[in-house]
């Protein structure tokens, strides 16, 4: 399974959820159990995303898919799991992402990551720096 397949699956779920709620097929009481079905489908999508190998070139797309999954899910526990995984992915690959656009992953065959420090403040014997990364290809 590829990220494009998961995207198509989640888009279909999102459209189905909109149709169900637009037609008022399910009420606040969840008499038909449609929320449960949608949560199970969103959880299936989440598991597929989390099982895929993490590469720094797919971080941005993976984050978009996780956002789509969180929108589809009604269950707070599923949304929390998705958000925690999204934060983990973001922390894991923050060093490889461009500081300015937060999308550029560079060329995996020839990545160049530039790290820069800028002095932001001085107090008595302490110097504070802001550290930034930018990615580029040769």
Residues 101 and 38 in one domain: no
Judge if 123 and 69 occupy the same domain: no
Q: Does 49 share its domain with 64?
A: yes
The reply to whether 71 and 120 lie within a common domain is no
List the domain range (segments joined by +) for residue 129. 97-138
90 and 39 both lie in a single domain: yes
What 8-state DSSP symbol labels residue 85? H
* pLDDT winner (highest mean) among 32-36, 104-108, 119-123: 119-123
Q: Do 36 and 86 have their domain in common?
A: yes
Whether the pTM exceeds 0.85: the reply is no
Instruction: Tell me the pLDDT tens digit for each residue of 42-64.
Output: 999 999 998 887 776 677 888 89
Which of 138, 48, 53, 47 lies closest to 92, judged by CA? 53
Per DSSP, the three-state class of 45 is: helix
Same domain membership, residue 103 and residue 91: no
Taking the CA atoms of 56, 60, 63 and 68 in sequence, report the sign of the dihedral they define: negative
Residues 65 and 47 in one domain: yes
6 closest CA partner among 65, 75, 92, 78: 65
Number of domains present in the structure of the chain: 2
């Amino acid at each position: 399974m590829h990220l494009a397949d998961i995207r198509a699956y989640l888009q279909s779920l999102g459209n189905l959820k909109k149709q169900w709620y637009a037609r008022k097929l399910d009420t606040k009481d969840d008499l038909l159990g449609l929320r449960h079905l949608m949560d199970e489908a969103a959880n299936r999508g989440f598991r597929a995303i989390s099982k895929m190998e993490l590469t720094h070139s797919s971080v941005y797309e993976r984050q978009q898919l996780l956002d789509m999954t969180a929108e589809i899910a009604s269950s707070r526990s599923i949304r929390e799991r998705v958000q925690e995984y999204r934060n983990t992915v973001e922390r894991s690959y923050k060093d490889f992402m461009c500081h300015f656009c937060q999308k550029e992953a560079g060329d995996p065959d020839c990545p160049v990551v530039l790290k820069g420090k800028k002095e932001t403040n001085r107090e008595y014997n302490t110097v504070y720096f802001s550290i930034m990364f930018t990615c580029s290809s040769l």
